[in-house]
Amino acid sequence: MTEWIRKKILGRGTTDRKNFIWNMLGSGVFAAVSMLLSFYVIRVMGADIGGIFSIAITLSQMFAYIMYFEMRTYQVTDVSRRFTFAQYHGAKVWLGVLMMLVCTCYMLIRGYDLQKAGVILLMCIYRLIDGYADLYEGTFQQEGRLDLTGKSLFFRTILSAGVLVIAVQLTHQMMLSILLAVAAAVLGVFVFDVVVLREFYPVGFDFSKVVSVLSECFAMFAGSFLWTYILSASRIAIDANMASNYQSYYQTIFMPVSVINLFVTFILKPALTTLSESYNKARMKEFFGQVMRIAICIIGLTLLCMGGAYLFGIPVLSALVNCDLSMYRSVLVLLMAAGGFNSLSYFMYYLLSIMRKPKSILLGYGTASVLALLISSPMVKSGGIFGAAMSFFVTVAYLSVVFLVLIAVNIRRHSAGTAG
């Protein structure tokens, strides 16, 4: 049976077209699911339970970066095969233990009640499985089979999210529904990852190089984790200072922010190779032209989304979650503007990566995270949901300015070094 499954998923090989289509399908579905699940749970279960589920998604996504650890970025560029699959696998096991320890400690510190703690814990396990599957999907990409990565993301996400939706509708029990979704996620990893991987490597563990693997990935992990905290800080502040129903309202109007970033990802990633070549070969006029075109696209998309949010956003979102959000029109528009700054900073993160400036990246994300930590709760206490949106806007605007300054400094040094 497993041999038949492997042959069906592997198909007759792949092409660049298949790689592109399946990667786009998998990435798109995976990115959309959190937003759609939040809308669905709020609509079916109500604002209070929906708020608990929303903060569970936020926290689980943040803690999941411990499990991801940006290992895939290093793995797919490990062309010399410094580490084996088994060694990456051994590191993932330790990361899974660490993630759940951090999650448990956080809940104990916050003193959540049993229901809220249970929902958050189960969602963390759900996201841990995604982080574990990322190892297999990175291996497929490493072997030139990005289509298998896309297939895994697409089918695993549809399977587990579908089970969650059906279970919520039939049982109206949040913890039971997530538990069933976790079981479906485990099945998905076995069918679409473990079984398929045996075509390339045996599925084994090697714990001898755990420290080496993690040390190589640490700088990239630190930047990604801090970026995730910046995205989550305003929602965490609402969880700490307001009732769960307000978390539902804020989560609903916050979710469209990710739409800008998703479209920017589709624009940006295909351009990374040419940007890298232009910069590394000191073709600076060409490099600046590419940067300006992408920046103009981001600004134009942001203005378009702000206009759409003002005209249509609130009626559509209110209908999706069956809540009256009419008082939050200005908050939604502000969040879309913040989404534009967030996408610009995301773009500049890649530019600094091309320049090989990890210290600049950590400086930007580190100081922005401290700013978010300092201002989020006070602004929520004084301004409620509007204060949360403003704290996010201020943080990502600051991050964009810092990254812009650091890029300008690094380009000047690079140009001076080239001229010399």
pLDDT in tens, the chain (420 residues): 666 767 777 777 777 788 778 888 888 888 888 778 988 998 899 888 988 998 999 899 999 999 999 888 778 767 678 899 999 999 999 999 999 999 999 999 988 899 999 999 999 999 999 999 999 998 888 888 888 888 999 999 999 999 999 999 999 999 999 999 999 999 999 999 998 888 777 788 889 899 999 988 887 788 888 988 998 999 999 998 998 888 889 988 998 887 777 777 767 766 766 787 788 777 778 888 888 998 999 999 999 999 999 999 999 999 888 888 989 999 999 999 999 999 999 889 888 877 878 788 889 999 999 999 999 999 999 999 999 999 999 999 999 999 999 998 888 776 665 554
CA distance 179 to 122: 7
Give the pLDDT of residue 138. 87
CA distance 226 to 365: 6
pTM, full prediction: 0.82
> What distances in angstroms separate CA 381 from CA 91, 233, 239, 370, 386, one per listed residue?
41, 14, 11, 18, 10
Is residue 410 a contact partner of residue 357, using CB atoms and an 8 Å limit? yes
Give the pLDDT of residue 82. 85
CA distance 363 to 231: 17
Nearest to 165 by CA among 318, 24, 42, 325: 42
Give the pLDDT of residue 234. 94
Is residue 395 a contact partner of residue 372, using CB atoms and an 8 Å limit? yes
Give the pLDDT of residue 310. 92
Question: In which region does residue 222 sit, left (phi positive, over 0), alpha (psi from -120 to 50) or beta (all else)?
Answer: alpha
Nearest to 100 by CA among 132, 75, 73: 132
The residue type found at 94 is: W
CA distance 52 to 116: 6
Length of the chain: 420
Give the pLDDT of residue 122. 96
> What distances in angstroms separate CA 315 from CA 40, 42, 80, 283, 327, one per listed residue?
16, 16, 53, 48, 11
Give the pLDDT of residue 420. 46
Domain boundaries, the chain: 1-208, 243-420
> What distances in angstroms separate CA 199 from CA 75, 101, 322, one per listed residue?
18, 34, 47
